[in-house]
């Protein structure tokens, strides 16, 4: 039993020393915790001010006071919130109280992120996020320009199909002129039908050819605008004036893309293919005999069949161009630094991490202090109060006890000084007194 008692006493002594050591560290750290928390709150308020200023259009005194008051409110709120938790959460002992304060800390942390952290991120990476938005917009416009040019160039390729059909009709007309089709040489009814369609196709071919320089010019101008937009994206200096110039260039480029879409001749070729066989002006048969006119009618019927086949081929080629994906509708929308940071949050994870860390770092201090206070309480478990008292505390307790005795029993405390002589005279022997007499 004595060994168990001695071991328990030794464990108690070690626990008390451990708790006293941790308490000394906590007391020393309390001296700098408030200052550190104040610095973090002020730093967050400064970045919050910069973020709010980027959202306000006006730059007058009213906007300055509005941004300053909001940032001050954020700094005070952060300081008070974490001060409460630094004092209360490590001190509570019941599980229900700890859970309640942890839930409160989570809700408060989300509120801090909502009112401060995203503005801090806007101040840290707002300009870079706006530049990212400009670069993303340039990519969209480039894709739309290339697609519009691809459709227009593909439509210009229909010129070869039209030329091939036209050439086939001209060849047939030459054969008819030589009498190789209907057997009647000359420029009769069949010849005139073939020439009629070849002339229509020649006009369409010329119209398509006139569009080619316009397509090339539009694409070159669009690329020049894209080059200027890319330069504005990476150009040094404030991003706001660059955004204004970028918006002007974007309007011009949108007009170029629309113009290229209108230059596509595929719908025109499709309509011409429909009219190729549907609108045929049949001339009067000019054969001298009934047999000759019969031969002409048979040849014209064959020519109309060929017209239908060529029209179908040309129409399918035109429809293939029309079915190509149209350029995406790209519109540049100016965006603020705060909105850009949220929109492209994945590209600025370090900035978001820094903005959130400066607000929520005191939460780590709360958890550390909670662990240390729990360790201090564990070291003092099972130890009586009088065993934990230091010499100074014991001396103070003795003095306080004496003062309390003086207050409640003032006569008793003075009686030993007044009664001492009486007791001394009463103890003298009678013989001595006689001797003295």
How far apart CA 72 and CA 67 sit, in angstroms, is: 9
Lowest mean pLDDT among 31-45, 80-94, 152-166: 152-166
pLDDT tens figures, 108-161: 999 998 888 888 888 888 888 888 889 889 999 999 999 999 988 888 888 888
> pLDDT category, 76, cuts 50, 70, 90?
very high
- In this structure, what CATH number is given to the domain that contains residue 210? 1.20.1260
On whether both 118 and 238 belong to a single domain, the answer is no
Report residue 14's pLDDT band, with 50, 70 and 90 as the boundaries.
low
Q: Are residues 233 and 321 in the same domain?
A: yes
The mean per-residue pLDDT over the stretch 207-236 comes to 89
For residue 164, tell me if it sits in a domain. yes
pLDDT 10s digits, 260-307: 888 888 888 888 777 766 555 445 555 555 665 566 566 666 666 667
Three-state SS at 153: helix
Report the 10 Å Cβ neighbour count for 45.
23
One domain for residues 335 and 353: no
> What residues have CB less than 8 Å from 46, skipping those under 6 apart?
71
Taking the C-alpha atoms of residue 367 and residue 370, their distance in angstroms, rounded to an integer, is: 5
Torsions phi, psi of 234, nearest 5?
-105, 5
355 and 334 in one domain?
no
| pLDDT score, position 252 | 92
**Domain, as residue range, for 68:** 2-126+347-387
> Given this model, what pLDDT does residue 413 score?
46
Single residue among 313, 340, 367 that ends a domain in this structure: 340
Same domain, 192 and 204: yes
pLDDT at 190: 63
Q: Is residue 335 domain-shared with residue 246, that is, in the same domain?
A: yes
Residue 388 pLDDT: 57
What single string gives the DSSP state of each residue in 176-195?
Answer: HHTTSSSS--SS-HHHHHHH
Give the mean model confidence (pLDDT) for residues 38-56.
Answer: 87
Residue 32 in domain = yes
- Top mean pLDDT of 8-22, 77-91, 177-191, 193-207 is at 77-91
Mean pLDDT within 20-49: 85
Residues 46 and 140 both lie in one domain: no
Number of domains in the chain: 2
Token digits of residue 382:
């099972």
How far is residue 394's CA from residue 25's CA, in Å, rounded to a whole number?
A: 23
């Amino acid at each position: 039993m004595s060994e168990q008692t001695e071991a328990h006493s030794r464990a108690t002594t070690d626990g008390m020393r451990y708790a006293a050591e941790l308490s000394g560290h906590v007391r020393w750290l309390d001296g700098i915790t408030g200052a550190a928390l104040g610095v973090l709150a002020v730093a967050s308020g400064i970045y919050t001010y910069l973020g709010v200023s980027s959202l306000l259009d006006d730059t007058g005194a009213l906007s300055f006071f509005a941004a300053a008051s909001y940032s001050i409110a954020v700094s005070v709120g952060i300081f008070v919130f974490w001060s409460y938790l630094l004092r209360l959460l490590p001190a509570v002992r019941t599980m229900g109280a700890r859970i309640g304060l942890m839930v409160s800390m989570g809700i408060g942390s989300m509120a801090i992120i909502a009112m401060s952290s995203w503005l801090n991120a806007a101040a840290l990476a707002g300009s870079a996020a706006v530049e990212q938005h400009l670069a993303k917009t340039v990519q969209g416009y480039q894709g739309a320009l290339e697609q519009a040019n691809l459709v227009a160039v593909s439509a210009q390729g229909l010129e070869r199909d039209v030329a091939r059909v036209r050439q086939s009709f001209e060849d047939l007309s030459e054969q008819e002129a030589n009498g190789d089709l209907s057997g009647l040489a000359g420029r009769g009814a069949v010849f005139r039908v073939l020439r009629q369609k070849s002339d229509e196709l020649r006009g369409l071919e010329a119209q398509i050819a006139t569009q080619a320089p316009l397509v090339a010019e539009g694409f070159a101008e669009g690329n020049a605008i894209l080059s200027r937009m890319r330069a504005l994206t990476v150009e040094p200096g404030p991003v706001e004036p660059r955004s204004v110039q970028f918006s002007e260039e974007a309007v011009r480029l949108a007009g170029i893309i629309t113009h290229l879409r209108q230059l596509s001749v595929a719908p025109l070729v499709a309509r011409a293919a429909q009219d190729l066989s549907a609108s045929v002006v049949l001339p009067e048969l000019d054969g001298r005999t009934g047999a000759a006119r019969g031969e002409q009618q048979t040849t014209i019927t064959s020519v109309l069949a060929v017209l239908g086949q060529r029209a179908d081929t040309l129409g399918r080629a035109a429809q293939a161009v029309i079915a190509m994906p149209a350029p995406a509708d790209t519109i540049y929308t100016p965006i603020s630094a705060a909105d850009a940071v949220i929109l492209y949050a994945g590209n600025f994870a370090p900035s978001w991490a820094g903005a959130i860390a400066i607000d929520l770092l005191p939460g780590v201090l709360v958890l550390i202090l909670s662990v240390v206070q729990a360790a201090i309480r564990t070291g003092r478990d099972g130890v009586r109060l009088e065993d934990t008292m230091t010499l100074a505390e014991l001396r103070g307790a003795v003095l306080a006890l004496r003062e309390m005795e003086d207050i409640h029993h003032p006569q008793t405390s003075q009686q030993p000084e007044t009664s001492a002589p009486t007791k001394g005279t009463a103890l003298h022997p009678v013989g001595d007194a006689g001797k003295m007499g």
